[in-house]
Structures are given as structure tokens and as C-alpha cells.
Structure 1
Amino acid sequence: MKDPELDLLLETLSIDSTWGLEKELAEFIADRMEGWGVDDVRLVESMPGRHSVGGRLRGTGGGKSLLLNGHLDTYEVSPDWTRDPFGPVVEDGKIYGAGIADMKAATTASLAVMRRIALSGSRPKGDVVFQGVSCHFEGGVGTRSLLEAGFTADGAICGEPTDNTIGTVHRGAAYLKITTYGKQAHTSAKELGLNAIETMEPILAGMRRLEGTMPYVVHPELPGGPNLNIGTIRGGTKHNQVPDRCEMTCDIRLLPSQDPYDVKLQAEQMIADLKAEDPRIEATVEFSDHWLSGPRLPYEIDKSSPISAAVAEAAVRAGAQPVYRGIQFWTDMVPLKQFGIPAVNIGPGTPPYSWADEWVELAKYREIIDIYAHAVNLWCN
């Protein structure tokens, strides 16, 4: 017995769309939508060589439009896979494949809804818009490029992995790059130099203290305070040279009450206080280029908002219990909000999201298709 919606997922999983390689999957999706009779289908080059794909099913008129957003790019495959990451299989009620949780299952579910409507011969009153975006990991670059290309709507659903719970709030982030400056010298005359790695040491300790002291307001759906990860550190050129610079990058995950720009100022003040004690410290604090490509601001929308209520009712109609749960990571609901589009998130997949032998429950995949389909009927009619 044919199962076109499962087959569609197995096809998308078989295409390697690792971060930077989204074009083939975007072309596949565009070809499928055109074959089903989706009205407006377009590839958009979001960054050089990196394509997103948009599609629009025109409604009969008089209804609100709904946008279904999912990213195509996936993280690099772990070497710990015990099966072919691009040879998807179904075993014991689970579908295995690279990027299925983050987030090909949800993106393909949105595509399956486009297929259902296009082939049904019946259209809702409002338009239904599909966004398959590249460059998500650059901070929503693909979403913004599709919005700028005209693939907009009155409301939106993102499908990041939340185990089919509804997310109306998520953390933001500040990606900081801190550089210390010293003076190069040979080890045999190190007193003539200034070691930038050594002047970085108190800053590292200061950042760890800052994690526990920066102000925030507790959020009931996002337990805990801000959390900080020092991700990279680079300094020096040779073992026998006093390093003239050292660079550290960190990721600070924030609560909705916090502003990344304020956090940067707090880091600068911390370093200024250290410099008052040790004048040798010379350092700069910058946002990383990766953060600047799409600032990771926090997001929150009221649970009583029309789009949230519609998705909750859609879950009920699909036979699921609507559950609200805060999201610990960043989503493309931020660029959607910046374009005036209210959005909520719901999609299959559980932590840790990207891992060896990644899987999603087949039942959750089928459920999310039904939830998206009911959301279209409720919102667009």
C-alpha cells in the first residue's frame, strides 16, 4: 500500500542538505510543488550558492493567509552513526535519518500539507505559503530572503523540534568575541613582551562570574537563568613566542527579559573593572559575524493570540492534547515577527535534536501533518 507522505519524508532525508549544501533539496522541493500544481514556486538564493524555496497556494478569497516555515539546512553528520545517515529507514515505529528532528520531519510535514491541498481540488479562503529556508543557522537569513521575495502571510507556524508541543516563547542568545592584545617577544626575552593569553585568563573567570550575576526576570516556561558556554579560544603563533593576541568566543543563552546588546555592555564593564586592577589588560568585545548575520533576540507571543489559539484547536482536532512549553533555543519566529507576522512553533523531535542515529517517531510525524492541515482550515477559512 502506497504511503506518499512517508515516501516524501524518506526522499527529503536521502538528500544531503548539510549546512551550506541546501540547493539540491530546495530544487527537489520546488520540482515537487510545481508537479502538484502549487501556484507560485520560486528558488531564492539567500546567500551565494545557498538556495531557499517558497511556494504559495492561492486561496479563493476572503480568508487569512498562513505561512509554514521550516529550514533545510542540517548540522554536520556525527562520525558515530551506526547506519547510513542518508539511507533513511523505518524501524520499530521510528524514522531514522540525518537532520530528521532538526528539522526535516516538520519541514516535510509542511510540504505534505501543500501536497494535500494542491491535489484535493479544494482551496481554503486564504493563501497557504510554504517556506523551505536555507541559512537558518546564520540567524534566519533564508527566512528573511523569502519574506523579502514576497512569501509573507498573516500568521505563521515554525516547526522546530518541540515534540509537538506549542512554543510561544524562546530564549535569545549573544555570541560574543573577546580579543586581548599583548606584545610579541621571544621566550628568551619575554619581559619585553606582553602575553595576551595570560591577560585573557582573568576575563575567562570574569565571564563565568557574569553568567551567575547578570540580571534577569525568571520565566515560568524557561527554567533557570542565562547560561554561558565558552566555545573557542585561540592565541599565539609558536611555543617560543609570547602571544600578541588571544581570541575567545562564547554563546550566552538569554531570557526574554534580557537584551543581547545590554549583555555585551555588561561584559565590557566587567573587563573595564579588571583593567582598573591590572592596566596590562587591553581587550575588545564584539558580536561575532555569525550573530550579526541575524541577531538572536528572544521571542514571546501571548498564548491567547489568534495564531496560538488556532494551533491549539488544530491539535485538539488532530486528536492531540495541546501542551505549551518554552523553547530553550532560537527560532525563525524572530525574523517573522520583525516582518509583522505573528508565529508559534510546533514540530516533532526531542533533545538532543542533532545526534548519531537521529530519529523521529512515525506517529509524531503523521500527527504534525494533521495538526498543520487543521491549522490551515481554521486559520485560512
Structure 2
Amino acid sequence: MNDPELALLFDTLSIDSTWGKEKELAQYMGSQMESWGVDDVELVDSMPGRPSVGGRIRGTGKGRSLILNGHLDIYEMSPDWTRDPFNPGIEEGRIYGGGIADMKAATTAALAVMRRIATSGERPAGDVIFQGVSCHFEGGVGTRSLLEAGFTADAAICGEPTDNTIGTVHRGAAYLKITTFGKQAHTSAKELGLNAIETMEPILAAMRKLEGVMPYEPHPDLPGGPNLNIGTIRGGTKHNQVPDRCEMTCDIRLLPSQDPYDVKIQVEQMVSELKASDPRIEAIVEFSDHWLSGPRLPYEIDKNSPISRTVAKAVQEAGISPVYQGIQFWTDMVPLKQFGIPSVNVGPGTPPYSWADEWVELAKYRQIIEIYDNAVHSWCR
């Protein structure tokens, strides 16, 4: 293939980095950066056996530094794929491959910019940092581990799929686990037990009602209110046993005006009210372990902040009119912010973000490389 930036994408798409299996892709990206002469390249174990990869091109010391952040982990492949997800191809202007929208196209574009700079023979004034992060789906664990390892900067760009629109605000989430407790008994003596599935039923109904009454302030870039999905229900051991446990997990997507900790308190109050009318109900409300590994807080940055203006200028220089659009999902801009690093998001890919025969437009992949390259030159001088 004569196009090295497209070949780079085909290489990353051919490596299966399904959630939990990021190591091979991290190693590949690290070896590529070393071969280009990137100054500092390091694999950092974000979780056991799941390394993230950081790279730094050192500037001359007279400019601002910038992170290009993208995650390596992708969701499991749907059985509905009609092609091999790890044998990428191009058809009618679309590049197909597993995880290309969420988010190998953007992560590889950031890597391509590192290649451009490292092989150009010229040094930027400020450092340019690549973060290829594992464990994103655990709530930014990979990003935090690279920041702790020293791959920090004055600002950052994330590349989650927004169809190359600029994201300065996104929703947060509360992942809750509710467990009801009963008493085990045999069906033939069920009056001696307490069915935990039955005591979960009024909680499920109340959760659906809660979605429509939770207080929030509308946001112009995030239409609608909070939304709730009941994701799993587990209860009981056998058909002829009264279940003594039932567990429900849910995902509540929040507006910037909402706090996940406050939402948990609202759910606890709702359960207490149900118990007051039905003393059989015994339940606890917890954040799920998956949420606790990286709290999904909302994010917002001023559109007139320096990094926002820089990215808008970079988009314009790539021949596109800058469009700001709120992001309905969570991004690693939160852990970056927690380390004092202001961030914005721009990356290729459209809803539903992860699907059978996933694709990204070839033109959008080329655009995002130019946007990142423009942003680096503008920000790092």
C-alpha cells in the first residue's frame, strides 16, 4: 500500500484489541513509535496484562505541550458481522473494520501525526504526547495510569466518535446495582420463604418512573433529560427454589447539572419510601464496581477556552466549518481534567458507534489527521 497513513490504520484494525486484549496493539504502536524516533516510548500496565502506550516527542522547550488521546480497547464483535472484522477493507469510500469508529480511526490518526512529526526532521516548540490507552471502558484507568507515569501536558484532544464535530460537553453516568434480599425455601413450602424477585418488581417500576422526575437543568448542547437503562437482572438458583437474592444493574445517563452521588441518594430515598409501604422489601443500593473503577462524571469546558479555539481553528484549516455538538456518552476528558489538563474532543465515526460491519468514511479519516496535525502546529508553535 502506497499510503503509509492508510496502511497504519489497516495494521491497527487487523489487531484484535477487544476489551481486555489490548496488549498486542499497545506493543505494535510502541514499536512503530520507536522505529520513527519518538523520544520517549513506554508501555505502562494500566491493569495486569493490559498495557497502555505513551509516546513523547520532546519540543525545544519554548511552546505549550499537547496530548493526543485515544483508547485501544474495543467492544466485543457482534455475530451479525458479514465480513471478517479484523480483515479491513474499503468499499464505496468507507473503511470497514472492528472498532474503527469507537475508536481506532482517531487513535491511529493521532499515531500518524506522531509519525509525521518524528520523521519530519523538525522539532515543535512544545512537547507532543501520544496516549494509546487500555482500560478505557473501566472509566479512564488507562489514561490515569499514563498521566501518573508522566505523560502529561498543558492540554489534550480526545478522539471519541463525533463525526469530526467538536465536543466541549458530555453526559455523566451513574452505574447502580440494587440488590433485594429474601429467604430461600422450597416451592412446596413457599410461605416459609420470601421471594427476592417479587420484592424487586416494585423497585423496577419505581426506577422507570424516576427517570422522568429526576431534577436537572436542561443543556442546549445535550437535548433531553436523564435517561435510564435497566441492563441486567439476576435472581434465584432453581425453578423450584424461592430466591433469596435478586440483583439489578442500571445505567443512568446524566446532564452536567446532575451529580451521580446525588442520584444514588435519590434512588436510596425511593427504595426507603417503597419499604415504608411494603415492609417485605429489604434492599441496598450501590455503585457498581465498574463505575467505581472510574466515576463517570459529566464534563464541560468553555467553547472560548484556548484549547477549544485552537481545535476550532484546526478544523477550519482542514477545510471544514467548525461545528460544536454535545456528546451523549462519557469520555476520558474527565480523568484528564482531574489532572488539571483542559481537553476537547473531535474524532470520526457516527452513531451507533459500535455495530456490525462498523465503518468510518475514508475522507473523515484523512480529515482528522489534518485536524490533529493543524492543532499540534498551532498549539505547540
Please indicate, yes or no, whether the TM-score normalized by the shorter chain is above 0.5: yes
**One-letter amino acid of the structure 2 residue matched with residue 38 of structure 1:** V
Matches within 5 A, 1:317-332: 317-332=317-332
Q: What is the distance in 2 between the residues matched to 1:123 and 1:324?
A: 31
What's the % identity of the aligned pairs? 83
Partner of 2:119, secondary structure, is helix
Q: Does 1:9 align with 2:43?
A: no
Alpha-carbon distance in 1 for matches of 2:209, 2:292: 25
Equivalence for 1:158? 158
Structure 1 residues 248-304: Cα deviation after superposition (integer angstroms, max 9, x where no partner): 000000000000000000000000000000011000000000000000000000000
Trace 1:358-377 onto structure 2 (pairs within 5 A): 358-377=358-377
Aligned to 2:220: 220
Distance 1:89 1:123 in 2: 35
Once residues 195 and 77 of structure 2 are traced to their aligned partners in structure 1, the CA distance between those partners, rounded to angstroms, is 38
SS in 2 for 1:177: strand
Query: What is the CA deviation profile of residues 88-139 of structure 1, one whole-angstrom value per residue up to 9, with x for unaligned ones?
Result: 0111111000000000000000000000000000111000000000000000
Amino acid of the structure 2 residue aligned with 1:349: G
Aligned length: 381
Q: Give, in whole Å, the separation in 2 of the partners of 1:240 and 1:226.
A: 39
Instruction: State the match for 1:285 in structure 2.
Output: 285
Aligned twin of 2:144: 144
State the match for 2:19 in structure 1.
Answer: 19
Q: Which residue number corresponds to residue 46 of structure 2?
A: 46
- Rounded to whole Å, the distance in 1 between the matches of 2:353 and 2:107 is 15
Deviations 1:214-243 (A, max 9, x none): 100000110100000000001111111111
How big is the shift at 1:186?
A: 0.9
Query: What's 1:294 paired with?
Result: 294
| 1:75 alignment counterpart | 75
- Structure 1 residue ranges (4+ consecutive) displaced by more than 2 angstroms after TM superposition: none
Which residue matches 2:96? 96
d(CA) in 2 for partners of 1:357, 1:194: 47
What is the aligned partner in structure 1 of residue 135 from structure 2?
Answer: 135
Identify the residue that residue 87 of structure 1 maps to in structure 2. Answer: 87
Q: Distance in 2 between matches of 1:62 and 1:7?
A: 34
Give the secondary-structure state (helix, strand or coil) at the position aligned to 1:120.
Answer: coil
Within 5 Å, give how 1:171-210 maps onto structure 2: 171-210=171-210
Shift of 1:60: 1.2
Q: Which string of whole-angstrom CA distances, capped at 9 and with x for unpartnered residues, describes residues 47-80 of structure 1?
A: 0110100000001121000000000000001111
CA root-mean-square deviation: 0.6
Q: For residues 140-164 of structure 1, give each alpha carbon's deviation from its aligned partner in whole angstroms, at most 9, with x where no partner exists.
A: 0000000000000000000000000
Structure 1: runs of 5+ lacking an equivalent: none
2:301 and 2:339 map into 1 onto residues whose CA distance is: 14
CA distance in 2, matches of 1:99, 1:186: 47
Give the 5 Å matches for 1:236-251: 236-251=236-251
Residue in 2 aligned with 1:260? 260
d(CA) in 2 for partners of 1:327, 1:123: 34
SS at match of 1:313: helix
Once residues 213 and 92 of structure 1 are traced to their aligned partners in structure 2, the CA distance between those partners, rounded to angstroms, is: 46
For residues 191 and 137 of structure 1, what CA distance do their matches in structure 2 show? 44
Which residues of structure 2 form unaligned runs of 5+? Answer: none
Instruction: Give the letter for the 1:182 counterpart.
Output: G
Partner of 1:380: 380
Paired position in structure 1 for 2:303 = 303
CA-CA distance at 1:188 after TM superposition: 1.1
Q: d(CA) in 2 for partners of 1:112 and 1:188?
A: 67
Match of 1:44, SS state, is strand
Q: 1:368 corresponds to which letter in structure 2?
A: I
Alpha-carbon distance in 1 for matches of 2:112, 2:211: 43
| d(CA) in 2 for partners of 1:170, 1:140 | 15
CA distance in 1, matches of 2:132, 2:186: 53
Rounded Cα–Cα distance in structure 2 between residues aligned with 1:202 and 1:63: 59
